[in-house]
Amino acid sequence: MCRGLAALPSTCIERAKEMKVHLGHFLHKSKLRKPSTEDTLKGGQFFEKLLTNKRGVAAFRSFLRSEFSEENIDFWLACEEYKNTKTGSKLTLKAQKIYDEFVRVQAPKEVNLDSLTREIVTRNLSDLTSSCFEVAQERTYSLMEKDSFPRFLKSNVFLELLNDI
């Protein structure tokens, strides 16, 4: 296993090159734009593209499950589905379900939100729009992109995804 930057054995360098090749195949077969080196290192647009790919989402969810933070992707996906809801009555039901499952304090899959964000979402529930969870969804997205996603790229789950393609 490759750890630290002090002494990179040739096996680590070879593995990094192999991952780059596999990542290229994944991006090609998934019809995702190949990220630049900067995008790959920072996550960048690759994270956004990953979330539009069913296999990518499944692999990322599996990784988050191993870190006990699967609620983040579940919340983000629920918000995406909510934003695409057209019927007013369904909007109300879905909003309440998302709030009860992810946002309220002590919710079964409570996401990590600061008190201000939670307060904004709670206020938004009194006047439902398709964007009432937007602030919380953006915070969760940012948390996943900056915190979980870089670890995902180094994980066995990601390597297995690359190997399966």
User: What is the per-residue pLDDT across 90-140, written as a single tens digit (0 to 9) for each?
Assistant: 899 999 999 999 999 999 999 999 999 999 999 999 989 999 999 999 999
Residues 6+ apart with CB under 8 A from 7: none
Examine the domain organization and report whether 80 and 129 are in the same domain.
yes
How many Å apart are CA 16 and CA 97, to the nearest integer?
A: 43
Q: Give a yes or no: residue 2 inside a domain.
A: no
Pair 56, 84 in one domain: no
pLDDT higher than 50, residue 23: yes
Range in 3-17, 43-57, 70-84, 149-163 the model is least confident about: 3-17
Burial class of 133 by CB neighbour count within 10 A (0 to 12, 13 to 18, 19+): buried
Cα 160 from Cα 155, distance rounded (Å): 9
Question: Taking residues 146-154, what's their average pLDDT?
Answer: 94
Do 26 and 54 sit in the same domain of this protein?
yes
Residue 137 included in any domain:
yes
| 82 found inside a domain | yes
Amino acid 86: pLDDT: 84
| Percentage of the chain exceeding pLDDT 70 | 72
Instruction: Tell me what the mean pLDDT of segment 22-39 comes to.
Output: 49
Give strand ranges (E) for 31-120: none
| Residues counted in the chain | 165
* Alpha carbon distance 35, 70 (integer Å): 25
What is the percentage of the chain residues whose pLDDT exceeds 90? Answer: 58
Q: Is 135 in the same domain as 86?
A: yes
The torsion region of residue 104 among left (phi > 0), alpha (psi -120 to 50) and beta comes to: beta
Q: Is 39 left (phi over 0), alpha (psi -120 to 50) or beta?
A: alpha
Whole-number pLDDT of residue 70:
97
105 in the same domain as 42: no
Is the domain of 39 the same as that of 21?
yes
Verdict on whether the full-model pTM lies above 0.85: no
Instruction: Examine residue 3 and state whether it is found in any structural domain, yes or no.
Output: no
Say if 48 falls within a structural domain: yes
Residues 78 and 136 in one domain: yes
The pLDDT-based confidence of 163 (bands split at 50, 70, 90) is: confident
Q: How many domains does the chain have?
A: 2
Do both 78 and 134 map to the same domain? yes
Indicate whether 16 pLDDT > 60: no
How many Å apart are CA 27 and CA 124, to the nearest integer?
A: 38
Residue numbers of the domain that contains 62: 10-68+149-164
CATH number of the domain within which 105 lies: 1.10.167.10
End-to-end CA distance of the chain: 22
Residues 100 and 156 in one domain: no
Within a domain: residue 97? yes
pLDDT value of position 15: 52
Helix (H) or strand (E) segment spanning residue 132:
none
